[in-house]
Amino acid sequence: MDIFKRLLNLAKPHTTLFIISVFCGLLVGGLQSSLAYLVKNVMDDIFVAKNMTMLKLLPLAVILIFLAKGVCSYAQVILMSFIGQRVIADLRYRLYEQMQKQSLAFFSRNSTGVLMSRITNDVHSIQGAVSDAVTNLIKEPFTLIFLVGVIFYRDWQLAIIAMLVFPLTVYPIAKFGRKMRKVATRNQETMGNLNTILQETISGARIVKAFCMETRENQRFAKVNEKLMRLAQKTVSISAMSSPFMEFLGGLGIASVVLYGGYRVIQGHSTPGTFFSFLTAVIMLYQPIKHLTNINNTIQKGIAGAQRVFEIIDLDPEIVDRSDAVELVNIQDKIEFKNVSFSYDETPILRNINLTVSAGEVIAFVGMSGGGKTTLVNLIPRFYDVTSGQILIDGHDIRDVTLLSLRSQIGIVTQQTILFNDTVRNNIAYGSHDCSEEDIIAAARAANAHDFIVNLPEGYETVIGELGTKLSGGERQRISIARALLKNAPILILDEATSALDTEAEREVQEALERLMKGRTTFVIAHRLSTIRNADRIVVLVKGEIVEEGSHETLLAGKGEYYKLHQLQFKDDKVEEGVREK
């Protein structure tokens, strides 16, 4: 129940509304019980004593009770719904905010679909526990207490017989609750897997169709979908089983009351009014008990979702500012890698990297795939932290400066261009809050993007679709470059920014990149060696280690790893040229 207590603690800012809601629940319970109390007067005064005054007063009293009960019940539901919705909205935001704080390693370990499921399905399951369940947890116990008071007031001996059944309900309620939580947890995990399949197949629809894998993906979806259906049915089965069981126990109690109570009336020890008032209270008593059983099931489902949500909320970000972190401003000097090593899940990726990069220098990293090039540049903005060693900027260990000030000094253009389903203008201005219209257009011109942008249906106001799907690869890349130009950061990272483009698009993008690189300390990862011939220095990485560094001409003359890469690529280019000529 610690999880449920945490959920309730989220409602503390709304204590006043909660108290009003509790008071309304108290009134609902009292008014509900008063109906059972009045049954004695109806039976004895109207039907037995034939009292005309009571015939006029009692129906009016019943009408007023139902009216007051309806108003209080409505007020309680509205208040608790507001509190519940507010708590859920806050919880959803905290979960999303916590995800944004995590390092890239977190997103590597958790699929997009599973994370989406945490924010949608898991939080939704909590909503019932926070609003509906809490509403009933306030109202039903009060109703229960008042009704118990009525039956003991009417006939304490008969009340003891009726109450003997209640202890029998404790064990099944607990057992049904444990089963419900277990099934609900499996249900939410399966829903996360289903979301993962949806995200992968929808975003990768082109690949699915290209490889004729529709049938296989349908089968994969059907398998998880079938499992989800079975779990949902099991949830319904547990919930449906608890209600008849409680009704059966209630029937035992009522039968006992009728047997013993009827005997007392026949013997003259009680009046029909007292008995029927008592019986009415007992019958009404089992309704809140049944509701509380269902509430327990709802709470268990909510707790199962809350456990998954709090797993992330309680997760400490791997990369955070130190308490004494300082601002990094006006970068003017060098960037140093000192004995840098990095391992991912205990797998060594980089080993003992030592490198000094002067301000304004263009340095390129080359090597076979898996050599650690991208990992190395990802350490600079602290997407990951070094396992050992240091990265220094102007003599500051990057772990000693604030993340905001560090990342504001770095512009990034990658092969996988990430754009948002927004206007061209907002994509270019992303991260540059105070830029003017002229700044955006100037950045677009410098990125060779202005001409194609103005020819779009709505120019800079054109919405470009999810991940920029309405644009070509070269157009997306030029918008990404314009975004980096507008940021105007002194450090630039280019991660295979032209490798996925055709020759014409590459030429346009390369011109834009050259403008972008001017006056900036630039780290370039390149697949095509022809694009880095003019780099100030080329560093060759093999299995996470620097094996060579120097200019293009120096490395070719050395006939080492770079020379081998160059010859291999030169040979491939010749073969490609021959194919085109034929």
In tens, the pLDDT along 213-243 reads 778 788 888 888 888 888 878 877 776 776 6
64: pLDDT confidence band, cut at 50, 70 and 90? very high
List, by residue range, all CATH 3.40.50.300 domains of the chain.
Answer: 326-399+526-582
**What fold is seen in the domain 326-399+526-582?**
Rossmann fold (3.40.50)
The model's pLDDT over 495-504, given as tens digits with 9 standing for 90+, comes to: 876 655 556 6
Q: How many Å is the Cα radius of gyration of the chain? A: 35
User: Which of 387, 384, 386, 382 shows the shortest CA–CA distance to 402?
Assistant: 382
pLDDT at residue 299 in the model: 77
- Give pLDDT, residue 574: 47
In the chain, CATH 1.20.1560.10 sits at: 2-313
Tell me the C-alpha distance between 372 and 454, whole Å. 40
The span from the CA of 292 to the CA of 279, in Å, is 21
CA distances from 69 to 39, 73, 75, 151, 499 (A): 17, 6, 10, 21, 71
508-520 residue pLDDT tens: 777 777 777 888 8
| CATH node for 2-313 | 1.20.1560.10
Average pLDDT of the residues in 5-28 = 85
pLDDT in tens, 274-305: 877 877 877 787 778 777 777 777 777 788 88
Q: Specify whether the CB–CB gap between 389 and 363 falls below 8 A.
A: no
Integer Cα distance of 70 and 530 in angstroms? 79
| 3-state secondary structure (DSSP) of residue 40 | helix
* Mean pLDDT over the full length of the chain: 81
Write the burial class of residue 156 (CB in 10 Å: 0-12 exposed, 13-18 middle, 19+ buried).
exposed
Structural tokens at position 332: 């003017």
Estimate the crossing angle of helix 170-203 against helix 214-266, to 10 degrees: 160
Residues 6 or more apart whose CB falls under 8 angstroms from that of 547 comprise 540, 541, 560, 561
Phi, psi at 277, each rounded to 5°: -65, -45
